[in-house]
Amino acid sequence: QGQPAGTGGTPANADTILLGQVGALTGGQATFGISTRNGIELALKEANAAGGVKGKKLAVKVYDNQSKPEEAAQATTRLITQDKVVLILGDVASSNSLAMAEKAQAAGVPMITPSSTNTTVTQKGDYIFRVCFIDPFQGFVMAKFARDELKLGKVAVLQDNKSAYSIDLSDVFTRKFKEMGGMVATTESYSQGDTDYRAQLTAIKKTQPDGIYVPGYYSEVGVIARQAREVGLKVPLMGGDGWDSEKLFELGGSAITGSYFSNHYSPDNPDARVQKFIADYKATYGGVPDALAALGYDAARVAIEALQRAKDLSGPAVRDAIAQTKDFPGVAGTVTLDEKRNAVKSAVVLKVGDGKTQYVTTISP
Ligand code: PHE
């Protein structure tokens, strides 16, 4: 009846500590929520096998927000008032997390977003945390890569006007690219869910750019890549973490091959901890984990470790414990939370290959 449906988890009882997750399990960002859910599940399974927290088992209640901020807000309220969770994990897309953060902060329930990079998310208040870097850094990373490695002089930008993430990343990239001596010939825009981008791409083509920055989500980016080639644009496309989905290869086909995006983690990282996570994930879910899975896993493990340290399970106690997270060894980098409740980490640049990504370089703050 218009209510988000619970898709798993166990209700809270005396022997269980209940966490909540709000994620996109359907809609244009579906792979984001599903990967995150898998990562969280894996972390909980390991923690329970190791004895749980404060003598209790951990469980998670998951709600689908259908890739919509309104649904994300509603699901958050439900986790707080009905399920009475001790802490909330989610979401991925920043616009959804912004809607959630409003509710979590007002209720004094700690929230950790694994992967929302828009600066304003954690500015919603002292109960809101993230275990990933923020977009002012991510925009810098691709601007630097475009200038120093790809040696691009003139680029165009194509942004999603319905996404807080895309708008901000577009701004940051533009500012940084210009500071580094490059030129942004034009900035065009679309709305999430659009299917025809030919008018914008044709306008872009007229400016004869050396590359196009498309800080959007995979559902749209894949189609944009195909239509870019169709209108005769042969230059590389560049993007951010929102590209990270195995669906990108399917939607973009050969049109997206050879393009670059910034991300939180690379499955090619030889680090033993990362490779163990990948092997465990594959054994359970059957595919290579993407950055969302890695960050979902890290967010859940940061949460669990904080619950262990917290003097009790009240909102303020859990909040204070999370805030003290320091040098936590995640699979998507080490997590130390700064006074703005953000993690400061390096980013990787990945190249899109045939059905998989290829690690190119790491850029540090
Ligand atoms: N950073 C994106 C946002 O804030 C979400 C995202 C993270 C997407 C990682 C894919 C991978 O909207």
Residue 12 confidence (pLDDT)? 54
Q: What is the DSSP letter of 82?
A: T
The per-residue pLDDT for range 199-225, each reduced to its tens digit, is 999 999 999 999 999 999 999 999 999
The pair of structure tokens assigned to 305 is 């470790």
pLDDT averaged over every residue in the chain: 95
For 6, left (φ over 0), alpha (ψ -120 to 50), or beta? beta
| Confidence at 107, pLDDT banded by 50, 70, 90 | very high
- Atom of ligand 1 minimally distant from the CA of 295: 9
CA of 190 to the centre of ligand 1 (A): 18
CA 285 – ligand 1 centroid, Å? 21
**Length, in residues, of the chain:** 365
Ligand 1 atom closest to residue 163's alpha carbon, by position in its atom list: 12
Q: How far is it, in rounded angstroms, from Cα 200 to Cα 197? A: 6
The secondary element (H helix, E strand) that includes residue 308 is helix 291-309
Q: Residue 11 pLDDT > 90, yes or no? A: no
The per-residue DSSP string of 122-140 comes to GGG-TTEEESS--HHHHHH
Residue 320 exposed, middle or buried by CB count within 10 Å (0-12, 13-18, 19+):
middle
Centroid of ligand 1 to alpha carbon of 113 (angstroms): 10
Going by their DSSP bridges, the two strands 183-190 and 154-160 should be labelled as parallel
Instruction: Give pLDDT tens digits for 149-197.
Output: 999 999 999 999 999 999 999 999 999 999 999 999 999 999 999 999 9
pLDDT digits (tens, 9 = 90+) for 297-338: 999 999 999 999 999 999 999 999 999 999 999 999 999 999
Confidence check: pLDDT of 8 > 90: no
- pLDDT score of 7: 45
Question: Which pLDDT tens digit goes with each residue over 22-60?
Answer: 999 999 889 999 999 999 999 999 999 999 999 999 999
Report yes or no: 344 and 362 within 8 Å, Cβ to Cβ: no
Q: Does the structure show a pLDDT above 50 at 364?
A: yes
pLDDT at residue number 14? 78
Task: Give the end-to-end CA distance of the chain in Å, rounded to a whole number.
Answer: 47
Q: Which ipTM was obtained for this model?
A: 0.98
Distance between CA 150 and CA 238 in Å, rounded?
Answer: 11
- The rounded distance, in Å, linking the Cα atoms of 349 and 332 is 13
Q: Determine the Cα–Cα distance for residues 125 and 116; give it in Å rounded to an integer.
A: 15
How many CB atoms lie under 10 A from the CB of residue 47? 21
* Residue 227 to residue 47: CA distance in whole angstroms: 46
